[in-house]
Structure 1
């Protein structure tokens, strides 16, 4: 099972998310903008590893390098692959593994309450993200599927 860990920052907050390969949310953690990415990833990946025992590989943004890779391998038993942009790329290019998380953030921005950061507490911001993802997943479940011949 491959998952992706990425952050998005707006209005002094960071959203750290873990999604599966389909782009479905496994975990989210909101932090203040001055909190380091690696520190938040330690806590979030511990929670995800405890909840999802079959998790083996995590693709992460370039901001999650350093001691996090060794920590995940030795303590959590997770292999962390860092998705980096090559030096010869020009302009705006979405990296192959990262587009899954970018698509999640695009879906979240369809929720009016998440477009602007109205929440004062990170716990309520996390709850709004879970609520928005719940609405998206239920829409996918009830959508009529084309009949196969």
Structure 2
């Protein structure tokens, strides 16, 4: 069942196109839905993240992270009630709001309509951040009252990393590049190259499954010589 879902996320196929080597698509989808509805994929994902962090010599639970958002086009099958238009990025569809640790591993994710502002979505996203996070980096889209709200409501320091006036073209910004790399990782999964899901909760589950595949491969990779 796990391999079937990983295959679907990586290959971008539909449920009904599941190869005969795997269980019947209806059984695989029922397994996926049960794990999504009962929070089992979140628990599975978070345990793997702790293992990866410990393998890298870190504590299982992080204390710092990075927040950002990515707009992605939605397929025609996505209902109009859950989609929107991001005028800044000129993308119609959904927006993925994520918080990662400093290794780029996913901490929390929320999928909204693309017209939802970053600051508006951040309030709900950060209240779901059940970690020992005390410092968070963000881009200029998170300036304003959100900085004070994080300090007063969550005892969290939100530090905005801005581009300077003399920067031209693409520039790798401190800390912010980590979350941008995570978005790039997600786009390697063909199911995530465009949003095909009817429910935002299903989109969030697909993102976690994509990260599960990346983390399991990382854990299975032999350690480099000289590393403990």
How big is the alpha-carbon RMSD for the aligned residues of Structure 1 and Structure 2? 1.2
Q: Which one has the largest radius of gyration?
A: 2
Separation (CA, whole Å) in 2 of partners of 1:94 and 1:125: 28
Match of residue 42 from structure 1: 123
Match of residue 125 from structure 1: 203
Match of residue 8 from structure 1: 70
Match of residue 100 from structure 1: 178
How many residues were matched structurally? 146
Stretches of 4+ moved more than 4 A in 1?
none
* More displaced 10-residue stretch of structure 1: 138-147 or 17-26: 138-147
Question: What TM-score results when the alignment is normalised by the length of structure 2?
Answer: 0.62
Tell me which of 184, 187, 193 is aligned to 1:109: 187
Separation (CA, whole Å) in 2 of partners of 1:95 and 1:8: 17
- Residue 66 of structure 1, CA deviation: 1.0
1:28-67 alignment runs, 5 A limit:
28-48=109-129, 51-52=130-131, 54-67=132-145
- Residue 69 of structure 1, CA deviation: 0.6
Question: Structure 2: which 5+ runs fail to align?
Answer: 1-62, 74-92
Separation (CA, whole Å) in 1 of partners of 2:196 and 2:101: 27
Question: Structure 1: which 5+ runs fail to align?
Answer: none
Separation (CA, whole Å) in 1 of partners of 2:72 and 2:64: 27
Match of residue 75 from structure 1: 153
